[in-house]
Amino acid sequence: MERNDPEGAIAAAAKRCSNAGRWGPDDVLGTLNHLDEAKRVEGAALVRRGASFSLAQRFGADGPQKGWRRRTNPVHTMLDTGVDAERGTQGFPHGIGGADDVVFLPLQSSTQWDGLGHIFDHGVAYNGRRAGDVVTSEGDRVTGIETTAGLLAGRGVLLDVGRVLGGGELPDGFAITVEHLEATIAAHGTTARVGRGDLVLVRTGRLTRARREGWGDYAGGDSPGLSFTTAEWLHDTEIAGIATDTWGVEVRPNEFDNAFQPLHQVAIPHIGLFLGEMWDLDALAEDCAADGVHEFWLTAAPLPVTGAVGAPVAPIAVK
């Protein structure tokens, strides 16, 4: 890689890794095409103990967001409360009362999936479509996150790179290369093999540190993450999706001068790959380290907000 030529590197990687037209001109699922019924049967068969792990951070007002591009933490407000019920002001008959609430949140304020309409390359969206034909003021009318409903469930694999290479946590700016991923797979053993249709989770330890030291610049600041050089691995392994415990999946600062999230620019509009951000992988990682099994059934359906380019998710891993 030439640090001073992100444009050239992105163009070359996009050409090598493009899935445009692979599943036809009307395809809206990208790499979810790799996650078929057989892969779901394989994933479901991994349940042995029934131990389940939530992989979602909380969606609270004290979350990591700092206002970047108007991303705020969720705002939760009650519409009806127990106080209203006690005082009989709700207008219901025969003593019944209840509580209702509402939440405002940017859809990428906490644990979430990036949809295929989230990132463009020179005005081009996934499958060679014009960005303006895909996402308008009405939202993503082509590849909205609702198109994934019922599909993001299958074999999950945890690669605890933070534990294998960093003694638990990787430092900010650590670029995870293919060699690092393969070394982690080798250290974990056969249950960490990665292949077609898998949902891969990469733990760096960045969230662990944020919990210990405070949010700081967790949202958008320096962080360990995937190297740009993993683009071909992400394509060639034919995984369905990849998620990390970081804000942006890829390493920050990015590996080029004057660049912003170049791996996203290849992964989403060209590979058609689903990226998950800010997942909580710590409890699952502890269990995987204890029993030596790094594969599991994973269900991770995003909230199907019509036309959304990304959405919150409450993933559950079951072993």
Mean pLDDT, to the nearest integer, of 260-278? 98
Domains and CATH numbers, the chain: 6-69+107-318 (3.50.30.50), 75-103 (no CATH)
Banded pLDDT at 236 (limits 50, 70, 90): very high
Residue 293, pLDDT above cutoff 90 = yes
- Average pLDDT over all residues of the chain: 97
What does the pLDDT read at residue 1?
Answer: 79
Banded pLDDT at 60 (limits 50, 70, 90): very high
Q: Measured between alpha carbons, how far is 203 from 161 in angstroms, rounded to an integer?
A: 6
The closest alpha carbon to 313, from 102, 114, 47, 140, belongs to 114
At 81-131, the pLDDT tens digits run: 999 999 999 999 999 999 999 999 999 999 999 999 999 999 999 999 999
How far from chain centre, in Å, is Cα 86?
42
Cβ neighbours of residue 26 closer than 8 Å, sequence gap 6 or more = none
State percent of the chain over pLDDT 70: 100
